[in-house]
Amino acid sequence: MQELIRELTEGYGPSGNEERVRTMIQEHVQGLVDEVRTDALGNLICVRRPTAPGSGLKVMLSAHMDEIGFVVTHIDDDGFVRFDLVGGNSPFRLLGQRVAFADGTVGVIGTEKIDEIKDLKLEKLFIDVGMSGEGAKSHITIGDMATYHRPMETSGDRVIAKALDDRIGCAILVEFLRRKAPSPHEIYCVFTVQEEVGLRGATTAAFGVKPDLGIAVDVTSTGDTPKARTMDVKLGKGVAIKMKDRSLIAHPRVKDLLLATAEDRDIPHQREVLEFGGTDAGAIHLTRGGVPSGTLSIPCRYIHTPSEMVDMVDVRACVDLLEATLAREITL
């Protein structure tokens, strides 16, 4: 599974530019699903028909393909590129970072002279692509997007990479399909677009799928680093079952179903309350007349940096829990 995670996290896919990640996923799910389609916004919708007898639901599993990035707003005559943020980020994280554009052009983020670090504002920053004005303009145009440029690394069971938010969710859905576990449910694995800019892909995908049950798979913060903001989620302690975040209060019966299944099967898990942030489930549960929804989260340190860190124990637990939950009939 780590090779899949490497391929997905090293791929280029800022919000609105998910095509390459979508192509990768399309190749991996080939033969594992009965139908694949792409909708108007670019969501990849993969349908697996029921593979076991019993009364089944239409279940939408969602993981977003897009990652945060940078959008070009201006290129000056010396080739320096000004940019805005795509998704949540802070100038303090960006100094000296390397970024890459779709065509492979690599740049470094530099800053104008500042007297004090508190003066470090986004408009002081630029991307230096090491080219003349003419050179830069021949490779890059206004509206092009860049992402962090970093390879994946491992340390034991820990994986460190950019874009684990939410390629790890994508990898989990692919791995879930690979296991081919029998299920009475019609399962829609939806790889969504534009989550980082407002849960947009999930909004239209859920309208089209009309699910009976929605489960988003995404990363969550942790409280297990020195003097971290208090949060009862730790890396390596299992898949996090969401109680609440800014976008969703998990549907009580979905939450109970996930908790009971995890306890039943001794799958390592923890309860999660996230103070900030939201996931695709926030959009799914408000679709049409409402969809009972929940979220399975992978604890992740340093979210939205080039070095997000997850633990494979939690990743495997998440796949196990999805498989176990969807193996049996569900009454909501």
Partner 1 sequence: MILQQLSEAYGPSGDEGPVRELIAEEVRPHVEVLKVDSMGNLIAAKGLASSRPPVMVCAHMDEVALMVSWIEENGLLRFKKVGGIDDRILLSRAVKVGRKGVHGVIGAKPIHLQRPAERKSVVQSTDMFIDIGATDRSEAEKVVEPGDYALFDTRFEVTGDGMLKGKALDDRVGCAILCEVLKGDYSFPLYAVFTVQEELGLRGATVAAYSISPALGLVLEGTTCADIPGTEEPRWATRLGGGPALSVMDRASIANKDMLRRLREVAEREKIPYQFRRTTASGNDAGPVSLTREGVPTATVSVPCRYIHSAASMASRSDFENTVNLVSAFLADLSQRGY
Q: Which stretches of the chain bind partner 1, using CB under 8 A?
A: 15-17, 39-41, 43, 71, 73-74, 76, 82, 84-86, 123, 141-143, 194, 197-198, 200-201, 203-205, 207-208
Q: Is 29 helix (H, G, I), strand (E, B) or coil?
A: helix
Report how far residue 169's alpha carbon sits from residue 319's, in angstroms, rounded to the nearest whole number. Answer: 10
Are 185 and 49 in contact by the 8 Å Cβ rule? The answer is: no
Residue 111 CB, nearest approach to partner 1 (Å): 14
112 is catalytic: no
Choose between 273 and 286: whose C-beta lies nearer to partner 1: 286
Contact residues for 186 (Cβ-Cβ < 8 A; gap 6+): 47, 48, 49, 50, 56, 57, 58, 59
Choose between 207 and 271: whose C-beta lies nearer to partner 1: 207
Residue 83 CB, nearest approach to partner 1 (Å): 9
Residue among 175, 195, 272, 323 flagged as catalytic: 195
Residue 196 CB, nearest approach to partner 1 (Å): 11
Report how far residue 124's alpha carbon sits from residue 82's, in angstroms, rounded to the nearest whole number. Answer: 9
Choose between 86 and 330: whose C-beta lies nearer to partner 1: 86
Residue 60 CB, nearest approach to partner 1 (Å): 13
> Whole-angstrom distance between the N-terminal and C-terminal Cα of the chain?
32
Choose between 134 and 266: whose C-beta lies nearer to partner 1: 134
Choose between 71 and 327: whose C-beta lies nearer to partner 1: 71
* Tokens 């179903």 found at: 257
Alpha carbon 1 to chain centroid, angstroms: 16
Give the dihedral sign, CA 114/115/116/118. Answer: negative
Choose between 66 and 165: whose C-beta lies nearer to partner 1: 66
From 258, 68, 64, select the one nearest 146 (Cα to Cα). 68
From 177, 212, 196, select the one nearest 290 (Cα to Cα). 212
Are 318 and 298 in contact by the 8 Å Cβ rule? The answer is: yes
What angle in degrees, to the nearest 10, is found between the helix axes of 252-264 and 312-327?
Answer: 110
Active site amino acids = 195
